[in-house]
């Protein structure tokens, strides 16, 4: 009886909420209106830099203050919170700090607002590949704030000792270098190479890099899956052979970014594929890194020449359900400005999206990896830009993981993946 | 007093047992040692990890060297709002515990002592609510709470936690109350107690261990609740400690702040255990004393 | 509460059931309804309502089509039971049965281990000895650590070059597919929740009057006999409730396999994880269908458990049903023992 009455009560309270058929707020461009307080939803950083940036904005705009809505550190949890808010048409989040791979899904669902390109004056100064991550069907839905690209960390000391002057440009060179170094007494117990091969987003990144670096694609320019090709197979085999021959340590199947950084810092790896953040950590001289001063970075190697990195980074987008969108776009432009991005990399070492900053002398001095990183990002490919990204990346991880762990043959894995992707991507 | 007598007897029994054979004396101690080791070893790892320098978080050394409080400093750094989170956790878990006990005891006593049609059905309905996967409740609940403007309120966390705790509380307390012989209340009522007094003065003291255990379990469950607290709040000032912990970041975004997460784990766990210990003595003593009168 | 007053007039020694049907009338039902309404109201608001919403949701599908501009077509379509039937088709069906097996496997293994460990913990905590407080505190620790943190802790322990492998001198890759990932989940879950059973059983132990044991001692019963014949029957209600709720929880296990081993791993994927995965990819209809299937499964298991073992838990009410009498009698065999002992106990107290 009590249940029944409480339900009746609820029915009236929620009657308006559950019809998903009302029209979304933000499909039309140019509707960036309204000024006043806004919020920024995303993770923060320990350095407190983000709050400093917000304080700078708030000091200049006392009537249009930005409040940081802190989300969990975990990227999936961040997306989950944003999706939940969007599904309930909540205006709690105005500006969304989005991973670059979420753009298509959020845009197709009209959870984020299309931004006319003339509203972003600096757009032309940003690295084109990063701007592309914020586009869905050639329309802009966000502004890239940070970027990220894969780098090859290598033990310069050991290479020099083995008489190798330069970082390898191809996989074959890298494996040959490993052979030479293996003859050194210092190389005892070391493995040649590792990336991130645990079954998670990092595997999609590493698999895409292998495929792209061998001249293959996962999804072609027209958005059609095309992964069952000899090129893609060559890329995948580079990884599976690495596991088979022991060039890649067995434990690498459990590596995420941090585990692989740990192995490199402990001197267990000659080569490591990882993001720029590792540089400062591995260079630490407080005894936590055994490789401080002994390593250098280079662009990723490829099949016949330099490799192709997957593109990381974050874009700021405006929630379709936000109030004060005019303030929001101004704030985004503020955060995307050269000065702000420079301040950001100085504090957090997160890669900027302004092309000019990669050549800034003070920055290149502070971050010696900026030159190879620029090369990496300029040549980088985005991960598949698809609406059902969650399903697509899960399918990629499944295929790659099964091939790497020896459960299926690479050829079989790719043909399975192709079938799966075709059913997921219906354009 | 009843417990005290039991204690004395148990002690006496133990002394006698000790006289019997050395095996009997040592076997339980070894058992105790093993259990304690089993429970504390992983916790020790958590504590040790918390006291390392953030840079040393990968170390497998059994003793942190150099010893560092940096992780704890990070946890309590001003822009985390962790203190406030602890307070919020306390408010939420405390309210949930009190409400669960009050509402749960009434329901349990009703189910244990009153005879009415549909009793089994009620018990069944109550436990059925514990059968739906929690992760699937979040989306509809969020929709509901947005509609009734409960986002960023304490009740948005208290009421769901209350509902998660009630089934266990009701079932457990019902089992306990039912074990109490009805003759006790009857005797009390012959002595002039009202049913409510009989419950408070006779049944409650005897069921104290059950009530107290329910309280601990409810409190800890509410204290540890994460998913609802995360989804129903987006304001720092109202978020609980667990939500704050999930927001800890490394210095650059890709490095995992394991050290400070473990430090925060230590901070939220140890006071809880100490509080339970202190309260345990108090509450059990208090209730038992009341029962003698 | 006044309706219970007549109980006082009842002679203490009279068999319990005999007069009740006459004494409790319409008023009792109403009183019960009043006293139970807070519980039912809260549960109705926060659990029953969302469950009904989810049941409804499971009959719909949405967000599957793109329009010409690349936008997802809004609104949901009624599809009847299609979300349910889809679960059993092809690859999805394989995944579902695998998850159902994992869920069942984890539940059986974890609950059995936790019960044994939990009862052992309770017996130890119940013993009077110096430093008992410390022992109790340490047993409480695993359960008091927030799941969010303890899952991370175990993940760290089970890393490829983590402390577990260091101590064991092995190179086990715990998070890879195979028995080891299952084992890591079971170890972590058992560690965390055995104290839960321990606490509840301890509470049951504490309500057993010492006189019962004294009597057993006088009769010269062995330790094992005392445990199986006296302790176990007397803590049975508390133990059954604890085990029942552990079963309900473990059948819905999510956090540990998800954080410790990871998503989309066949070895540890559970039904809750499937529901989560669908919801994560914003397929709320199928997600609700998975949740509902799990719900039904849990309900069936719980019903069977109570039916087979749980006469003690909802004993009295069941006793009045025709056919339930046999079980009820079994329960009552122990009841006079407690009554008698407790009566002497309070008698001494006063």
Under DSSP, is residue A425 helix (H, G, I), strand (E, B) or coil? Answer: coil
Which of B115, B140, B291 comes nearest C53 by C-beta?
A: B140
CB contact under 8 A, C176 and A7: no
Cβ burial of A191 (10 Å; 0-12, 13-18, 19+) is buried
Q: What is the pLDDT of residue A30?
A: 52
**Do residues A383 and A310 make contact, with C-beta atoms less than 8 angstroms apart?**
yes
Helix, strand or coil, per DSSP, at residue A409: coil
| Dihedral pair phi/psi, residue B81, rounded to 5° | 70, 30
CATH architecture of A151-310+388-424: 3-Layer(aba) Sandwich (3.40)
- Going by pLDDT thresholds of 50, 70 and 90, the confidence category of residue C344 is very low
What pLDDT is stored for residue C148 in this prediction? 82
The residue behind tokens 């059973």 is C197
CB neighbours of A121 closer than 8 A, spacing ≥ 6?
A333
User: Is A261 in the B-facing interface, judged by CB distances under 8 Å?
Assistant: yes
Task: State how far residue B151 is from chain A, nearest Cα, in angstroms.
Answer: 10
In chain B, the residue whose alpha carbon lies closest to the alpha carbon of A313 is B253
CA distance C294 to chain A (A): 22
Q: How many whole angstroms separate alpha carbon A335 and alpha carbon A297? A: 29
CA distance C71 to chain A (A): 4
Tell whether C52 is covered by a domain: no
The gap from C-alpha A181 to its chain's centroid, in whole angstroms, comes to 32
pLDDT of residue B184: 83
Which of A45, A85, A281 is the closest to B253 by Cβ?
A45
Q: Do domains A38-148+312-379 and A151-310+388-424 have the same CATH topology?
A: yes
pLDDT higher than 70, residue C198: yes
User: Are residues B245 and C139, on separate chains, in Cβ contact within 8 Å?
Assistant: no
Give how far Cα C243 sits from Cα of B36, B84, C33, C107, Å. Answer: 22, 36, 28, 11
Range of lowest pLDDT (A52-56, C136-140, C240-244, C269-273): C136-140
Mean pLDDT over B37-53 rounds to: 93
CATH number of the domain residue C139 falls in? 1.10.3720.10
Find, in chain A, the residue whose alpha carbon is nearest to that of B80: A46
The tens-digit pLDDT sequence of chain A (427 residues) is: 343 444 333 333 333 333 333 334 444 445 789 999 999 999 887 777 899 999 999 999 999 999 999 999 889 999 999 999 999 999 999 999 999 999 999 999 999 999 999 999 999 999 999 999 999 999 999 999 999 999 999 999 999 999 999 999 999 999 999 999 999 998 999 999 999 999 999 999 999 999 999 999 999 988 899 999 999 999 999 999 999 999 999 999 999 999 999 999 999 999 999 999 999 899 988 888 999 999 999 999 999 999 999 999 999 999 999 999 999 999 999 999 999 999 999 988 889 999 999 999 999 999 999 999 999 999 999 999 999 999 999 999 999 999 999 999 999 999 999 999 999 987 5
pLDDT at C95 > cutoff 60: yes
Range with the poorest average pLDDT among A96-100, A238-242, C223-227, C319-323: C319-323
**Residues of B with Cβ-Cβ distance to A275 under 8 angstroms:** 254
The superfamily in CATH containing domain B81-247 is MetI-like (1.10.3720.10)
Q: pLDDT over 70 for what percent of chain B?
A: 87
Determine contact: A280 vs chain B, CB below 8 A.
Answer: yes
> Is there a contact between B49 and C294 if contact means CB atoms under 8 Å apart?
no
| CATH 3.40.190.10 corresponds to the domain A38-148+312-379 | yes
pLDDT of residue A28: 46
Query: Residue A267, by phi and psi: left (phi above 0), alpha (psi -120 to 50) or beta?
Result: left
Distance to chain B for C152, nearest Cα, Å: 8
* Structure confidence by residue, pLDDT tens digits, C134-144: 788 888 899 98
B254-285 per-position pLDDT tens digit: 788 899 999 999 999 987 888 777 776 665 55
Give A427's contacts in chain C (Cβ within 8 Å): 66
Per-chain mean pLDDT for chain C: 81
Q: Which of A51, A70, A84 to mutate to test the interface with B (most CBs of B within 10 A)?
A: A70
> Distance between CA A189 and CA A122 in Å, rounded?
50
**Chains near A, with 3+ CB pairs < 8 A?**
B, C
Domain ranges in chain A? 38-148+312-379, 151-310+388-424
Q: Do B195 and C5 touch (CB under 8 A)?
A: yes
C139 burial level (CB within 10 Å; 0-12, 13-18, 19+): buried
**Among A257-261, B199-203, C176-180, C266-270, which is the least confidently predicted range?**
B199-203
Strand A95-99 and strand A311-318: the pairing is: antiparallel
The DSSP call for residue A182 is H
Name the residue with tokens 């919403």. C53
Sign, CA torsion A307/A106/A68/B152: negative
Confidence band of B189 (pLDDT split at 50, 70, 90):
confident
Range with top average pLDDT, A21-30, C45-54, C263-272:
C263-272
Question: Considering only CB atoms, which chain C residues are within 8 Å of A7?
Answer: 44, 48-49, 52
- H or E stretch covering A272: strand A269-274
The pLDDT of residue C17 is above 60: no
- Tell me which residue range forms the domain holding C130: 101-313+331-346
Number of structural domains (chain C) is 1
Among chain A residues, CA nearest to C284: A87
Q: Nearest C-alpha of chain A: how many angstroms from B287?
A: 32
Report how far residue C52's alpha carbon sits from residue B82's, in angstroms, rounded to the nearest whole number: 37
Task: Please report residues of A whose CB lies closer than 8 A to that of B55.
Answer: 281, 284, 286-289
Give the model's pLDDT for residue B162: 95
List beta partners, residue A318.
Answer: A95
Residues β-bridged to residue A314: A99, A146
Structure confidence at residue C19 (pLDDT): 39
Contact across the interface for B277 and C40, Cβ inside 8 Å: no
> Which chain C residues touch A254 with a CB distance below 8 Å?
159-160, 173-176
Residue entry with tokens 């949901």: C76
- Element of type H or E holding A351: none
Q: What is the crossing angle of helices B22-50 and C147-157, to 10°?
A: 90
Q: What is the pLDDT of residue A396?
A: 97
CB-based contact C188:C256 (threshold 8 Å): yes
Q: Locate A100 and state its tokens.
A: 């670059």
User: How far, in Å, CA of A110 to CA of A22, rounded?
Assistant: 12
Name the 3-class secondary structure at A112.
strand
Is C34 a domain residue? no
| Listed range (A114-128, B60-74, B245-259, C168-182) with the worst mean pLDDT | B245-259
HSE-CB of C190 using CA atoms within 13 angstroms: 22
Q: Please check whether residue C325 lies inside any domain of the structure.
A: no
B20-43: per-residue pLDDT in tens? 567 767 777 888 888 899 999 999
- Strand partners of residue A139: A136
Interchain contact, C203 vs B32, CB within 8 Å: no
Report the alpha-carbon angle B236-B241-B245, nearest 5.
90
What's the rounded Cα separation, in Å, for the pair A137 and C282? 21
Q: Quick one: DSSP state of residue A183?
A: T
* Cβ proximity of C49 and A10 under 8 Å: yes
CB–CB of A75/C279 below 8 Å? no
Question: Alpha helices of A183-275 — where are they, by DSSP H?
Answer: 201-213, 230-245, 257-265
A108:C40 CB<8 A: no
C173–A7: do the CB atoms touch at under 8 Å? no
């Amino acid at each position: 009886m009590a249940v029944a009455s409480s339900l009746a009560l609820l029915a009236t309270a929620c009657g308006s909420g559950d019809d998903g058929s009302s029209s979304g707020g933000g499909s039309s461009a140019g509707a960036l209106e309204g000024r006043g307080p806004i919020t920024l939803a995303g993770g923060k950083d320990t350095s407190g830099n983000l709050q400093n940036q917000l304080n700078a904005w708030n000091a200049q705009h006392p009537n249009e203050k930005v409040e940081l809505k802190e989300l969990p550190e975990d990227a999936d949890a961040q997306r989950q919170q944003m999706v939940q808010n969007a599904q309930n048409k909540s205006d709690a989040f105005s500006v969304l700090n989005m991973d670059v791979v979420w753009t298509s899904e959020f845009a197709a669902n009209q959870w984020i607002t299309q931004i006319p390109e003339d509203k972003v004056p600096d757009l032309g100064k940003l690295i084109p590949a990063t701007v592309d991550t914020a586009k869905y069907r050639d329309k802009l839905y966000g502004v890239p704030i940070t970027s990220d690209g894969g780098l090859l960390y290598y033990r310069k000391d050991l290479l020099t000792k083995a008489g190798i002057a330069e970082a390898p440009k191809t996989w074959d060179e890298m494996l040959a270098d490993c052979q030479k170094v293996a003859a050194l007494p210092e190389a005892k117990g070391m493995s040649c190479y590792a990336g991130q091969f645990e079954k998670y987003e990092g595997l999609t990144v590493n698999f895409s890099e292998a495929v792209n670096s061998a001249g293959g694609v996962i999804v072609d320019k027209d958005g059609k899956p095309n992964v069952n090709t000899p090129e893609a197979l060559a890329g995948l085999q580079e990884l599976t052979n690495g596991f088979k021959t022991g060039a890649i340590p067995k434990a690498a199947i459990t590596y995420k970014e941090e585990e692989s950084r740990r192995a490199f810092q402990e001197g267990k790896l000659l080569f490591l594929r990882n993001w720029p953040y590792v540089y400062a950590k591995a260079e630490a001289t407080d005894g936590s890194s055994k490789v401080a001063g002994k390593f250098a970075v280079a662009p990723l190697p490829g099949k016949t020449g330099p490799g192709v990195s997957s593109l990381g980074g974050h874009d700021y987008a405006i929630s379709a359900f936000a109030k004060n969108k005019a303030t929001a776009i101004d704030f985004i432009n503020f955060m995307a400005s050269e000065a702000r991005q420079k301040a950001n990399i100085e504090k957090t070492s997160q890669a900027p999206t302004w092309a000019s900053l990669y050549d800034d002398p003070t920055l290149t001095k502070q971050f010696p990896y900026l030159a190879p990183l620029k090369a990496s990002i300029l040549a980088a490919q985005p991960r598949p830009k698809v609406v059902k990204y969650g399903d697509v990346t899960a399918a990629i991880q499944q295929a790659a993981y099964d091939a790497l762990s020896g459960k299926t043959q690479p050829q079989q894995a790719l043909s399975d993946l192709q079938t799966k992707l075709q059913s997921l991507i219906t354009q | 007093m009843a417990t005290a007598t039991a204690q004395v007897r148990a002690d006496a029994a133990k002394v006698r047992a000790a006289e019997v054979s050395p095996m009997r004396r040592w076997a339980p101690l070894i058992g105790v040692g093993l259990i304690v080791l089993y429970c504390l070893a992983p916790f020790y790892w958590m504590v040790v990890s918390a006291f390392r320098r953030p840079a040393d978080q990968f170390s497998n050394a059994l003793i942190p060297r150099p010893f560092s409080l940096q992780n704890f400093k990070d946890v309590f750094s001003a822009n985390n709002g962790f203190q406030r989170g602890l307070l919020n956790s306390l408010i939420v878990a405390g309210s949930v515990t009190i409400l669960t006990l009050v509402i749960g005891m009434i329901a349990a006593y009703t189910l244990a002592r009153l005879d009415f049609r549909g009793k089994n059905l009620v018990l069944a309905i109550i436990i059925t609510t514990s059968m739906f996967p929690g992760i699937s409740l979040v989306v509809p609940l969020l929709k509901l709470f947005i509609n009734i403007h409960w986002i960023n309120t304490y009740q948005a966390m208290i009421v769901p936690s209350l509902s998660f705790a009630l089934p266990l509380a009701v079932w457990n307390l019902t089992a306990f109350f039912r074990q109490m012989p009805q003759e006790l209340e009857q005797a009390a009522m012959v002595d002039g107690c009202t049913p409510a007094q009989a419950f408070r003065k006779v049944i409650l003291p005897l069921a104290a261990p059950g009530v107290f255990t329910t309280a601990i379990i409810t409190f800890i469950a509410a204290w540890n609740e994460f998913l609802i607290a995360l989804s129903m709040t987006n304001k720092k000032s109202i978020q609980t400690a667990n939500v704050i912990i999930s927001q800890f970041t490394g210095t650059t975004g890709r490095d995992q702040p394991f050290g400070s997460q473990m430090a925060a784990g230590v901070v939220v766990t140890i006071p809880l255990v100490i509080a339970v210990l202190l309260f345990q003595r108090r509450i059990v003593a208090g209730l038992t004393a009341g029962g003698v009168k | 509460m006044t309706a219970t007053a007549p109980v006082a007039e009842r002679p203490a020694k009279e068999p319990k059931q005999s007069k009740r049907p006459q004494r409790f009338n319409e008023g009792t039902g109403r009183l019960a309804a009043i006293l139970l309404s807070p519980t039912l109201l809260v549960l109705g608001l926060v659990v029953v309502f969302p469950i009904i919403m989810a049941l409804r949701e499971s009959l719909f599908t949405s967000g599957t089509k793109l329009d010409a501009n690349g936008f997802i077509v809004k609104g949901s379509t009624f599809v009847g039971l299609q979300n349910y039937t889809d679960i059993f088709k092809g690859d999805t069906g394989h995944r579902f049965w695998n998850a159902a097996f994992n869920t069942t496997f984890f539940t059986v293994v974890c609950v059995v281990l936790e019960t044994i460990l939990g009862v052992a913990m309770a017996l130890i905590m119940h013993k009077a000895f110096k430093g008992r407080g410390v022992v109790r505190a340490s047993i409480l620790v695993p359960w008091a650590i927030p799941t969010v943190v303890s899952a991370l802790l175990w993940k760290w322990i089970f890393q490829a070059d983590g402390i577990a492998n260091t101590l064991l001198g092995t190179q086990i890759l715990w998070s890879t597919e195979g028995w080891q990932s299952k084992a890591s989940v079971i170890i972590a879950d058992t560690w965390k929740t055995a104290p839960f059973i321990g606490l509840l059983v301890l509470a049951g132990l504490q309500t057993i009057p010492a006189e019962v044991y004294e009597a057993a001692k006088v009769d010269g019963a062995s330790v094992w006999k005392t445990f199986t014949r006296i302790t176990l029957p007397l803590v049975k209600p508390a133990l059954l409730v604890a085990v029942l709720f552990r079963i309900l929880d473990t059948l819905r296990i999510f956090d540990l396999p998800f954080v410790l081993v990871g998503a989309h791993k066949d070895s540890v994927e559970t039904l809750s994880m499937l529901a989560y995965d669908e919801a994560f990819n914003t397929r709320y209809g199928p997600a609700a269908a998975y949740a509902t299937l799990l719900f039904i499964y849990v309900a069936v298991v719980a019903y069977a458990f109570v039916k087979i073992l749980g006469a003690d838990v909802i004993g009295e009410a069941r006793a009045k049903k025709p056919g339930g009498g046999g079980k009820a009698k079994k329960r009552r065999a122990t009841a006079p023992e407690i009554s008698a002992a407790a009566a002497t106990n309070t008698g001494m107290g006063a």
